[in-house]
Amino acid sequence: MQADLQRGVRTSDGIRLHVAEYGASAHAADVTVLMLHGWTLDHRLWSRQIDDLPDRFGGAVRILAIDLRGHGESEGCAADGTTLDRLADDLAAVLRERAPEGPVVLVGHSLGGMAILEFAHRYPEEFGRRVRGAALVSSSAEGAAHTNYGLAPWLSTALRQFETNGAALLAKLGPWRPHRPLMPALWPAVRWLVFGDRVSCEAMKLTLAMISCASLRSIGGFRPSISRMNRVDALRALADVPVAVLVGTRDRLTPVKCTEAMTAALPHAELQVLDGCGHMPPLECPDTVTNALAQVCRAATRESSIPAQAAAESGSSIPAQPVAVG
C-alpha cells in the first residue's frame, strides 16, 4: 500500500491534515471514497480496504484516507480544537479542496463515524447532492452512552468514570507521546479492549503503532466531545442514500446496542453483525468490510444521476435487514 499522492489540507483553524490519495485520478474516478479512522488510530487502519476496494468495486475508485487532527501525520491542535464539530469542519475542508466534484462515499470507523454524523448535522445539504453513500463501522450516534467494556453495569460505570477523569488529565499534557516506549507492555490491555475472538500478530502490531502516534492531547481531548455526543437527529440526512452499518458481537466500546438508533432512523441501511469480531473490523474482518464498502460504492454510482428522493421511492437503496456474518 503506497499512496499515489500525499498532500496536506489546511483546516479553518489552520491545522494541516495529512491526506493520502490512492487509486484513480480525480477526473477519471467513478466515485471518491473518504476514509476516516477511529480514536487514537490513523489512516493505516484501512490498509486492506485501500488495497482491495478497487477490484471489489469493479470500477474506477479514488480513495482519500485522512489522518484526523492530532493523529498519525496530521498536526495537533489546541485543547479547544479536539471536538467533533471541528472534525466535521475538517471533513468539509477536505471535500472542498480535494473532492469538489463527483459522487462521494464517506466511510468512518468509531470516532470517524461520529465525525460523519456531526458533518451530517452541520452540512445536511451535502447528502444526496454530493455525498451519495456512507459506511459506519463500529460507531455510534449516541457517543459513549452504550459503552460497557464488556463488563457488569456497576463495573462499567466505574470504569467509564475513571476513563473520563483520566482523559481530562491526558488532555492537559499537550502534544507529547511518552507512551510510545510503553506500547509493548500495553499489548494485553489493547488486545482485550479492542479485539474480539481472534486477532493476528500483524494487526496487533499495527494497532499499537497507530496508538503510539496519537498525542496525549488527542487521546484525552476528544473524550468529552464523545461523551456529549447525540446525533440521532442527524441520521435523517443519510436516510435517502445507501448506508452500511457494521458492528462486532465482541465490541466492548461500541456494542451492538449502538446500532439500534441507526437502524431505526435508516430503514434502507444494511446492518451487518460480525460474529466474534471486536472494535476493529477493518483489521479483524477485512474482506467483509471491503465487500460492504464496494456494495455502497456500487449503489452510490448507480444512483449518481438519480435524485435522492426518487431513488428512495424506487427502492434502489440497500435493503434494510440485519446480516449476521460468522
Q: pLDDT tens, 4-48?
A: 666 789 999 999 999 999 999 999 999 999 999 999 999 999 999
Segment holding 229, helix H or strand E: none
The alpha carbon torsion through 250, 254, 260, 261 (nearest 10 deg) reads -170
More reliable by pLDDT, 35 or 179: 35
Q: pLDDT tens, 271-324?
A: 999 999 999 999 999 999 999 999 999 999 986 544 333 333 333 333 333 445
Q: What is the mean pLDDT of residues 131-137?
A: 98
- Cα–Cα distance measured from residue 293 to residue 136, given in angstroms and rounded to the nearest whole number: 10
Q: pLDDT tens, 192-248?
A: 999 999 999 999 999 999 999 888 777 778 888 888 899 999 999 999 999 999 999
- Cα–Cα distance measured from residue 106 to residue 115, given in angstroms and rounded to the nearest whole number: 10
Q: pLDDT tens, 82-94?
A: 899 999 999 999 9
Q: What is the mean pLDDT of residues 128-153?
A: 85
272-309 exposure pattern, b = at least 16 Cβ within 10 A, e = fewer: bbbeebbbbbbbbbbebbbbbbbbbbbbbbebeeeebe
Percent of the chain with pLDDT over 70: 81
